[in-house]
Structures are given as C-alpha cells and as structure tokens.
C-alpha cells in the first residue's frame, strides 16, 4: 500500500533525519573559511577578541590550552588529536601553558612557516595546532548558533582525530595550490562542519532548546522535514500536529518547549530566512520571492519581513550584499596575512 503524503510510518524518523540535516546544511553554506594554525613553544598565551562565527582548533602535536572566555580562570587542556569549537566567542585565550599570562595577540610577533604562524625559534616549538575560522551564512546563522552550545570539546576518541586529519588535509591543499585544491578544501570544510554537528547531536540534551535537540525527537523530525522540504506550502497547525501524531494543544506545547518558539512562528521565521538569502543572492523581484515562499501577498510578506528583520526587503537586499562583500574581503585579507586564528 502506498504511504499517505501526510503520515509517516514508524521507521520514517530514521529516513527523514538524514534528509532534514542535509537540508539544513545546504542552507547553512559557510560563506568563508580561513585555514590557519600555529607552531609554538611552551609558555605562550594569546588573548583574542570576539568573532561572529566558529573557531575550530585541533591539536596535531603537544598539549594545548583554551579558555573560552578571556575572563575565565580555568583553561581546557587539549591533547594530541583533540579538537575544540568555539561558537561566536566574545573573547578567548589560546595557550601552550596552563599558567602563562596572556598577551594581546596583536602585540606578539610571529613569522610564517609552511602556512603556519611560527612563534619563537622553530627548534624550540613543542605545540602544533591546525585551526579554522568559519562564518556561516548570516541569513541562517541564528538557527545554527542557537542550536549549538558555546563550547564543544571533541576528544580524540570521540571524533577529534577525524577532524584533525581533515583539517590537516585542508591546510596542505590550501598550501600546495594544486589544481582543484579549492574544490577539495571546500568539500572537506563541509565534512568538518558535519562532524561538529554530529558530535553536538550526540550530546545529552541538558535542557537546551533548539533545532539540533528537535532533530533527536521522533515526533518533531517529520514536522521539521515537511517545513524545510516544502516551506511554501500552506501549512496549518492541524496538518503539522497530524504529522507528529499529536493533538494540536499537545503538539504546540511540545514544539515550543523543544524549539523555543510556536510552530507557525517557526515556519514564518524560516521563510523569512530563506527570503533573506534569495534577496541577497538573486535579482528576483520581491513579489516573486514572496509568492514562492507561501506568502499570500507582497504586503503580507513586507509586514512579516519588517517584523522579523526591522527593515524592508529592498533594504535587506542592499545591506546583506554589503555584508557579504565585506565578509569575503575580510576573509581574503586575513588569509593573505595568515594570522592564527583571530584578529590581530
């Protein structure tokens, strides 16, 4: 018997889950990635300013210490094969010693050696770290950042070593400049991001609301799959509740508790996020974008857009293109300077 288009069989959670994550990752599309790294001796500690993206580091040799906040006293110890991701950090400290007093990164000199920042004499270095700076698509960054904890420590036996191997290849692909190196590096960057998200999905829930928590919920995965796969459809609360096999009141309460927002509001927010992307990346008329995303009229779209974005679609198109241009220019500038891994 053919399955109904509106009802998932019991095993559909396992079928829909990979598709849902793939849909989200396609939309996330990192806008820039700077591959960096360092060779350093013992006794070094560097303080970095805020960064509106993800800092990812993996230890290739030695012992490394990270303080997710420049104000925190404790430092996380990382050994060979361990990795750490800092999500939109306000400030942070990277060190080769648990006790070294931090200096502002911009005040510490280094030389560039094999694509890595070399601090001090190469004969005295005991720590090598590969690192990356990633800026997710600004249009959907909130969905991503709100779903992740601010710090992810991925130990070697939990997937850190896999990340290290990929980041090592990214580094040498970028360094070697062989034909096809940018293509290879960009595919590996996607895989690194996937590994980080998969690790986050395996973490205990710890009461954290968000998209990744919902991706582990068998009742909500079919709902989210429908919203993300066909955002333009004229969804109703009853249709989404039916997909979750729950009554409307129970479904609305459960959805809000797990995702932190009501179902229909989530749908509108996701449509607006997609609209922001298309306004920036295409020259489609606003009316066409509104209709293709399920809004009844351009005026209804404009009201919803202004409520969520605080500006008109036209203003968003202009500002987001300026943001993209500035982001890419900044990434190219920093790649040329090969700084590790924050601003000087």
Q: Is the pLDDT of residue 208 over 70?
A: no
Integer Cα distance of 56 and 162 in angstroms: 13
Q: Are 50 and 92 in contact (CB under 8 A)?
A: no
Q: What is the pTM of this model?
A: 0.78
**Average of per-residue pLDDT across 139-148:** 74
In the numeric block, the tokens 């007093």 are attached to 101
CA 206 vs CA 116, 203, 212: distances in Å: 37, 8, 12
Which sign does the torsion angle of CA 146, 321, 23, 134 carry?
A: negative
Our CA angle for 186, 35, 94, nearest 5°, is 140
What's the token pair of residue 189?
């960057």
Q: Which of 46, 48, 50, 39 is closest to 101 using CA atoms?
A: 46
Phi, psi of 75 (to 5 degrees): -120, 140
N-to-C CA span, the chain? 63
Residue 298 predicted with pLDDT over 80: yes
Check pLDDT > 60 for residue 334: no
The pLDDT value recorded for residue 304 is 95
Q: Where in the chain is the domain with CATH 1.10.10.60?
A: 12-26+209-320
Residue-wise pLDDT tens digits, 262-283: 999 999 999 998 999 899 989 9
Instruction: For residues 241 and 247, give the distance between their C-alpha atoms in angstroms, rounded to a whole number.
Output: 6
Task: Please check whether residue 168 is in contact with residue 28, taking contact to mean a CB–CB distance below 8 angstroms.
Answer: no
Q: What is the mean pLDDT of residues 274-295?
A: 93
Asked whether the predicted pLDDT for residue 67 surpasses 90, the reply is yes
Residue 303 has pLDDT above 80, yes or no: yes
pLDDT band at 144 (very low <50, low <70, confident <90, very high): confident
DSSP string, 15-37: HHHHHHHHHHHHHH--SEEEEEE
Mean pLDDT of the chain: 84
Q: Residue 145 above 60 pLDDT?
A: yes
Longest dimension (CA), the chain: 71
Residue range(s) of every CATH 2.60.120.280 domain in the chain: 31-204
Element (H, E) at 304: helix 298-309
- What is the CATH number that goes with domain 12-26+209-320? 1.10.10.60
Looking at CATH, the fold of the domain delimited by 31-204 is given as: Jelly Rolls (2.60.120)
The helix/strand count (H/E) of the chain reads as 12, 12
Pair of tokens at residue 5: 């288009």
Give the pLDDT band (50/70/90) at residue 210: confident
């Amino acid at each position: 018997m053919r399955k109904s288009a509106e009802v998932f069989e019991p095993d559909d959670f396992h079928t829909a889950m990979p598709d849902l994550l793939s849909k989200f990752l396609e939309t996330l599309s990192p806008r820039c990635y700077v591959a960096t790294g360092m060779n350093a001796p013992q006794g070094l500690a560097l303080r970095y300013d805020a960064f509106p993206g993800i800092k990812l580091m993996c230890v290739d040799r030695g012992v490394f210490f990270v303080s997710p906040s420049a104000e925190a006293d404790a430092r996380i110890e990382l050994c060979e094969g361990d990795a750490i991701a800092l999500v939109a950090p306000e400030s942070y400290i990277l060190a080769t010693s648990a006790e070294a007093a931090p200096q502002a990164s911009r005040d510490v000199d280094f030389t560039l050696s094999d694509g890595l920042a070399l601090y001090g004499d190469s004969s005295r270095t005991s720590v090598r770290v590969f690192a990356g700076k990633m800026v997710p698509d600004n249009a959907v960054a909130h969905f991503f950042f709100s779903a992740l904890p601010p710090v992810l420590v991925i130990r070697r036996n939990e997937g850190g070593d896999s990340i290290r191997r990929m980041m090592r290849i990214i580094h040498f692909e970028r360094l070697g400049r062989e034909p096809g190196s940018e293509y290879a590096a960009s595919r590996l960057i996607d895989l690194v991001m996937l590994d980080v998200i998969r690790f986050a999905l395996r973490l205990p829930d710890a009461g954290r609301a968000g998209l990744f928590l919902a991706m582990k919920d068998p009742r909500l995965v079919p709902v989210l799959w429908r919203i993300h796969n066909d955002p333009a459809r004229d969804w109703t609360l009853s249709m989404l509740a039916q997909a979750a096999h729950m009554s409307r009141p129970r479904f609305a309460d459960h959805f809000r508790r797990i995702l932190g927002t009501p179902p229909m509001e989530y749908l509108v927010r996701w449509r607006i996020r997609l609209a922001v992307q298309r306004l920036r990346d295409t020259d489609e008329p606003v009316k066409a974008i509104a209709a293709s995303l399920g809004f009844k009229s351009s005026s209804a779209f404009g009201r919803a857009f202004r409520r969520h974005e605080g500006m008109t679609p036209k203003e968003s198109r202009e500002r987001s293109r300026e943001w993209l241009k500035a982001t890419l220019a900044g990434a190219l500038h920093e790649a040329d300077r090969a700084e590790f891994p924050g601003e000087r």
